[in-house]
Amino acid sequence: MNFFKGLFKFIYSKIFLIQLVLAIALTVIIGFVALQWLDSTTNHDQRIQVPDLSKMSIDEAKEVLASKELRLKLREDSANFNPEYPRYSIIDQDPKGGSTVKENRKIYVTLNPSGYQKIEVPNVVQQTRRQAEPMLIASGFKIGTVTYKPDMSDQVLELRYKGQKIKPGIMLEKTSTIDLVVGDNGGQKLNLTEENQ
């Protein structure tokens, strides 16, 4: 019982109350100074609007970002070729143009490759035109001229690219146009040449 009496007497004493007020004041002052320091070192209130870098070259983008005290970082992952953008120009960025960021922030960009990626021409020789065309289109190619040649089958006899005979398995750019030479099924095809629309 004497312990509790002594404790209450100490808590209500002048010395304890002065120390308590000093401790609270010191905590508030330290907290305020820490917040001010964090604000100044992290540029908390500073906001820079990120420019839209699309269709710019790397050098142009670096110059624009440097003028705003931002940094450019090139992404290593490859992108699909986009014909609407110049070759080796920026096609994507993070953060996007118009976003607000702090000074010295890295802006990650993706470049447009020099062209479509090369893909393998599937083996559609000895398959009917009805089978061959969807396979070529699904692989990423376009169908060009279809020429009929005397043959007892209605199968694809040759593949041609820019007038030259090609073998299945060669690598061509995606979206390349491949011409087909197809058997006329014993003369049943009256048109010798047909353009695909």
Work out the pLDDT band at 43, boundaries 50, 70, 90: low
Q: Do residue 69 and residue 133 come from a single domain? A: no
Q: Do residue 53 and residue 105 come from a single domain? A: yes
Q: Do residue 150 and residue 190 come from a single domain? A: yes
HSE-up (13 A, CA, CB side) for residue 140: 13
Tokens linked to 173: 């750019």
Q: Do residue 102 and residue 54 come from a single domain? A: yes
Distance, in Å, from the CA atom of 22 to the CA atom of 70, rounded to the nearest integer, reads 45
CATH number of the domain enclosing 99:
3.30.10.20
Task: Give yes or no for residue 42 having a pLDDT over 70.
Answer: no
Question: Measured in Å, how far apart are the chain's first and last C-alpha atoms?
Answer: 103
Tokens linked to 17: 């109350």
- Cα distances from 122 to residues 53, 87, 90, 112, 141, in angstroms, run 38, 27, 32, 26, 10
pLDDT at position 35: 83
Q: Do residue 34 and residue 52 come from a single domain? A: no
pTM: 0.53
Question: Which of 111, 132, 152 is where one domain is finished?
Answer: 111
Of residues 122 and 194, the one with the higher pLDDT is: 122
Over residues 30-55, the mean pLDDT reads 80
Over residues 94-102, the mean pLDDT reads 90
Q: Do residue 36 and residue 53 come from a single domain? A: no
Q: Do residue 185 and residue 122 come from a single domain? A: yes
Q: What is the length of the chain?
A: 197
| Helix or strand (DSSP H, E) at 159 | strand 156-161
Question: Which of 79, 111, 143 is where one domain is finished?
Answer: 111
Mean pLDDT, the chain, as a whole number? 85
Work out the pLDDT band at 197, boundaries 50, 70, 90: very low
Q: Do residue 12 and residue 38 come from a single domain? A: yes
Q: Do residue 122 and residue 181 come from a single domain? A: yes
Distance, in Å, from the CA atom of 55 to the CA atom of 61, rounded to the nearest integer, reads 9
Least confident of 35-39, 55-59, 117-121, 136-140: 35-39
Return the bridge partners of 48, or none: 101
Summarised one tens digit per residue, pLDDT across range 5-26 is 666 676 777 787 788 888 899 9
Sheet holding 156-161, edge to edge: 164-166, 156-161, 177-183, 142-149, 193-195
Domain that holds residue 73: 48-111
pLDDT at position 125: 94
Q: Residues 6 or more apart from 134 whose CB is under 8 A from it?
A: none
Q: Do residue 135 and residue 93 come from a single domain? A: no
Is the bond leading into 51 cis (omega within 30 degrees of zero)? no
Task: Give yes or no for residue 195 having a pLDDT over 80.
Answer: no
Q: Do residue 37 and residue 60 come from a single domain? A: no
Q: Do residue 61 and residue 93 come from a single domain? A: yes
- The number of folded domains in the chain is 3
Question: Which of 68, 83, 111 is where one domain is finished?
Answer: 111
**CB-based contact 87:114 (threshold 8 Å):** yes
